[in-house]
Amino acid sequence: MATPDFILALREKIGTAPLWLTGVTAVVLRGDDEVLMVQRADSGQWTPVTGIIDPGEEPADAAVREVLEESGIVAVAERLVKAHVLPPQQYDNGDRVQYLDLVFRLRWVSGDPHPADGENTQARWFRLDELPELRPTMVDRIAAARSHDERARFTEGGVARP
């Protein structure tokens, strides 16, 4: 995955020290029964589109931008559906990070999915009843986006809240 320039500049100053970053997961729905999924080039896993918010960028705009950059799909952000902290992680090069992930529900507007920027090997629509094997956290993000609850899900004191 391409590392944003602002993170490369930070890494020049702090080395591999932990960074707190804000990311987005963009769950793009087409109609009532399809979701956009991409197959990551780095792990081979299928996921909704994910990415890092640029400094000063509005989170919903970041979700829309990432979808267009990674899949060629034009979509509109409808609402924030989940906010959660991911576990700390360390990349192969030693860089340590932890993400605040903001999950957005997006509605497809136009375009046919394709791996547009090299971060993914495939991009396609899946019927919601025929999803590929997914990590539980991705299943939960899709479920949050499909929910008709107007409130975003979050965790408080280690306990998930609707």
Query: What are 41-75's pLDDT values in tens digits?
Result: 989 999 999 999 999 999 999 999 999 999 999 99
What is the enclosing helix (H) or strand (E) of 102?
strand 96-110
Q: Is residue 162 part of a domain?
A: no
CATH assignment at residue 38: 3.90.79.10
Please give the distance of CA 98 from its chain centroid, rounded to a whole number.
Answer: 14
**N-term to C-term CA, the chain:** 32
Which pTM value belongs to this model?
A: 0.93
In the chain, how many domains are there? 1
Q: Is residue 73 part of a domain?
A: yes
CA–CA gap between residue 96 and residue 56 (Å, rounded): 22
- Match 């990311």 to its residue by tokens: 23
Q: Is residue 34 part of a domain?
A: yes
Q: Is residue 160 part of a domain?
A: no
Q: Are 5 and 85 in contact (CB under 8 A)?
A: no
The per-residue pLDDT for 118 is: 87
Q: Is residue 58 part of a domain?
A: yes
Where in the sequence is the domain holding 61, given as residue range(s)? Answer: 5-155
157 has a pLDDT exceeding 90: no
Q: Is residue 76 part of a domain?
A: yes
What is the enclosing helix (H) or strand (E) of 71?
helix 59-71
Q: Is residue 87 part of a domain?
A: yes
The per-residue pLDDT for 155 is: 80
Q: Is residue 161 part of a domain?
A: no
* Amino acid symbol at 23: G
CA–CA gap between residue 76 and residue 65 (Å, rounded): 10
Any idea what DSSP says for residue 151?
S
Band (150; pLDDT cuts 50, 70, 90): confident
